[in-house]
Every structure is written in C-alpha cells, then in structure tokens.
Structure 1
Amino acid sequence: MEIWLEPASWIALATLTAVEIVLGIDNVVFIAILADRLPEGERDKARKLGLLAAMVTRIALLLSISWLVQLTAPLFGVFGHDFSGRDLILLLGGLFLMGKATLELHHMTVDGGQAAPEVKVATMTGVITQILALDVVFSLDSVITAVGLADHVIIMVLAVVISVGVMIVSAGAISSFLKQQPTFKTLALSFLLMIGTLLVADGFGLHVPKGYVYFAMAFSAFVEFMNYRLRRKRGTATG
C-alpha cells in the first residue's frame, strides 16, 4: 500500500490508463465491426466478452513478463534477418488483420454493407475466437508500453482494468455510430488495414514510430468529422 502514498504512482496510473485507452481504440473498432456480423441481440454481449477477453489477455501477459522477454530472443534467420517469437506473432496477426479489413471493405463496396441472403451470419463462437486471436497481437504493444511506463505490476493491472472499463462503456456507442455512418466505418477499416500492414512491417524488423501512425489517424478522423458536420448542415439547410 505504500506505493499509493507516492504521487509518482498516481501519475503513472493516470498516464498509463490514458495510453492504454489510446492503444485500445483499434481493438474496440475491430470488435465493433466483428460483432456487427452477429444477430442484433448478441452484439452487445460479444463486445463485452471481447473486451473482457482483452483485459484477461493483457493481465496474463503482464504477469508473464519473463516469458515476454524470451519472445524477443531470435529463433531463426532468413536472408540475414533474425525472427523472434514476437516477430512471428506480429506477422501472423498483421496478415490476419489485413485480410479481415480487406474482406470487410470488399463487403461494403459490393453490397453497401447489407448482408446478402447467401452470406452466412457469423456465430458467437467464431467472433470470440477471432477477437481472442487479435487480442494477443494488440496486447503485445500495450503490455510492452505498460512495462516501460510503470515499475509496479499492480499499477499496470489497474490501468488495464480501468481502460477496459472505459472501452466497454463506449463500445456500444462506437458500434452504433459506425453503423450509422458508413464513411467513418470505411475510415476505421482503412485504419485497421494500415495497422495490419505496420504489424507485418514490424515483424520484418521495420519499426514505424506509433506517434506518426496515431497522428495520421487522428488527422484523417478530424477531416472526416468536419465533412460529417458539413453534410449535416447541408441536410438541415435543404430540409
């Protein structure tokens, strides 16, 4: 309990929580898009289960820091580049995310996002399985960041729990907004496609600073938000 008497601990908790929320945005968007494939009555349950699974995954990784360190050890080399366990996870996760985002974009462009009669509706088990697979990839960066920002595991765990709580509360609103605004959903899928590409690049040893990525995403979202407001004003004026 002595750590909570130190102001530095509270600063670390607030900073880490904010970082976890920012790093978790792509996870929330991915879960919202996957859950949208389910019947209406199961979507909220899938979002909550997915985010709780993300929380459990991140806490488990935090408690396995020694295993995480071993993941960076080279396993084999190809054309002069050494691949570690972390590299392989990033490669597989990035390829999966690229494929999923591409399929969703194709679905939107072919039939406007409306499910065709021959398209099979997703199952809860299938959606949760996909969420769990990507949670491991998304959690790696989150956990590595947490280890770098805080010295005590309890602070890292609390930050993860608080951030997931915030995401659970906001996931429904984000999902509803993306469903009502196809252009924002297209932008969100483009972000996931870009993140998947960066994960693959990181797996090959080409690291792109996350600050540049999030700045580009924030700027694109700002431009689209301004277009959204302009469309609403024009609709009001013509109505």
Structure 2
Amino acid sequence: MPDMTSSLFWIAVLQIIAIDIMLGGDNAVVIALACRKLPPEQRNKGIFWGVIGAIGLRVVMIFFALQLLAVPYLKIVGGLLLLWIGVKLLLPEDEEGHDSIEGGTTLMTAIKTIVVADAVMSLDNVIAVAGASHGSMVLVTLGILVSIPIVVWGSKLVLALMDRFPVVITLGAALLGWIAGGMLLTDKALPDALVQSLGPWHYLLSAAGAALVVLLGKWLASRRPVRAGVELPAAPDQRH
C-alpha cells in the first residue's frame, strides 16, 4: 500500500491525470458519436454506462499491463514504445480519426461501441499510466477516477487550451518522455547494483527521454507536408 501522505504519491497521481487528459481527449468524441442516434431521453444513460464500462475495462487492461511490465526486458520495450507515443503526440493529427465509429440505435449498442472503441484507442494510455504508476493499482484507480470526468465533461475546455496554447501539448509529450526514460532503468533485467549506483543521476535519463521526444517530435512535424493553406497554381486560360 503506497504512502498517501508522501509527495511522491501525489506527484504520480498528477502524472496519471495529465496522461489521461493528454491522451484521452478523443474519449468525449467517441461518446458523442456512439450516442448521437439514441433518443434524447436515453443519451445520458448511454453516456453514463458507456463511461462506467470504459473505466472498468481500462483498469483491467492496466492491471494486466502492470503484470507484464514485471517480466524482464518488457519495461525496456514499454519505455521505447512510450517514447514513440510521446513523439506521435507532437505530430499533426490525421483527419480520418473517427470515421469508422457508428452511432448505436439502442442503448446497449451505444454502450458496447463506447467500451470497444475506448479499449482500441487506449493502448497508448494504458502503457503510459502503467509506467507512471510504479506498479500501484491504487495510483492507477485514483488517477483514472479523477481524470475520466475531466476528460469527458471538460474535454472541450482541455482541447481549447491545447489549441490556444500549443506548449501544453509539448509539455505533455515531454512528460511521456520523462516517464519512458525512468522506465528503462526500472526493468527487471538490469542489475540492482547498477541502478542503485546511479543515485540521483537516473534523473538525467528521464530528462534525456523528455528532450528526445520533444526534439524528435518537433523535427518530424516540421518535415510533414502542409495540407492546409496551400494554393494550387491557377490553370492556364484555354480561351482564344
């Protein structure tokens, strides 16, 4: 049982909440799309039970992720994957994100759509939260319980802040890089003596992970072709 009076405990909780907000912005869109065909009197029920089901499934997924991360070398793999997730956060989004999500015409189909779509879209979230929780399901559960209402009901505000202040996205990506760098040093395959000998220097690897994500993400984003605002040259006048 983690010490809830420790500052490290609450820092980890804040990290999990930040991860859920940064990576869970699509949840509100999924819920809206899944419930859009329901009669008005059933929409609130669809949202409520869909969110409850999504939370429960995500906690189960994170529980299994925590068990897997106890296997040697998998934290190294998870850390590297988390670095790439952080980089992807800084890349321009594809415009085709939610075309495949169909609205349900009954309450049960809408709930099923929300739960399944959330499970498919939450792999990056699950890996990041598992890395930030240091193996504690108390941290995972508390972080998710606090962050899900923020994501669902405050998503418009969160997305507006991200659009208005792009530095919020950069800070979120850096946080994922920081957690990834720390994960690399906590893998079971590494000798305890090596990890302990680093002392506070292990923060350098976390900082390096954060810097790598931001620099690589910005560089890749700058190389992406600009799709909007590019005018095509006018066709030559064929009239004689």
TM-score by length of 2: 0.49
Computing the radius of gyration from Cα coordinates, the structure with the larger value is: 2
Per residue, is there more helix in 1 or in 2? 1
